[in-house]
Structure 1
Amino acid sequence: MPHAKAGARTQPISPDLAEFLAQYMQTLPPGAEWLFPSPGARKGHTVDVRKAFVRCVAAAGLDPKQVVRHTLRHTAITHLVQAGVDLPTVKRISGHKTLAMVERYAHQSGTHIADALEKLDDRYRVPKRPG
């Protein structure tokens, strides 16, 4: 992203996404270097995907005024935290500069908090003696 707030950085991706993108790139014309080539564009590729994103959101039956590109980021960060990924790792993946910013995106449901406290109980619970 040319104008990202945090500046240029390397974005880690999952192995499944890497495989998907590699397969997708094979469907493009030989020599294509971009995910979204656009021969008629000044730079030879699409830079802004807003219109395509809005079309996809609408096609999914969702409201494009409520589901924006940032919604995907927020959801992914929340899912990482709910999967038990530690906040410093989430910070590295998301590109946030501070843990405080990660915490703003990582809302926890009551169930998630209850599960975490249950894990703590399990760790400190004294085993019952037989008999």
Structure 2
Amino acid sequence: YVAKPFNTGLEIIPLASPNGLLLGGELNFRVLENGKPVPNARIIVVTDNEHFIKHRIEDLYDLDNVRASNIHANEQGEFSFHPQKAGLNFLFVTVHHQLNEQLWESQNASLTLEVNLPPDTQGKP
């Protein structure tokens, strides 16, 4: 696997193949904006149907969105994802730039991953 960022806009780039990601595993990523790392980017992690199951009212895009599952990238824009639930997992990042006193511009990127159960638990209740 070789990561191939477009280096345009905002991107969440897996640093290793995301295929075969298992519950309890780890996968490293880098957040890039126009090919440059985004230091301290906030990554929102949402598991399959979580927003509805937990009756969340906040918007994923909200600056004040605080979840226990949020991840923050380091100074190089890198972070590690340790899935807490098998199934679909959604990683979402927003970068805001203030253009003037009253105008902001936001860039969003998202990535959906399928997290599998480890082989020794598949097919067991």
| TM-score relative to the length of structure 1 | 0.21
* Bigger helix fraction: 1
Bigger radius of gyration, 1 or 2? Answer: 1
* Bigger strand fraction: 2
Q: Greater relative contact order (Cα 8 A, min sep 6): structure 1 or 2?
A: 2
| TM-score relative to the length of structure 2 | 0.21
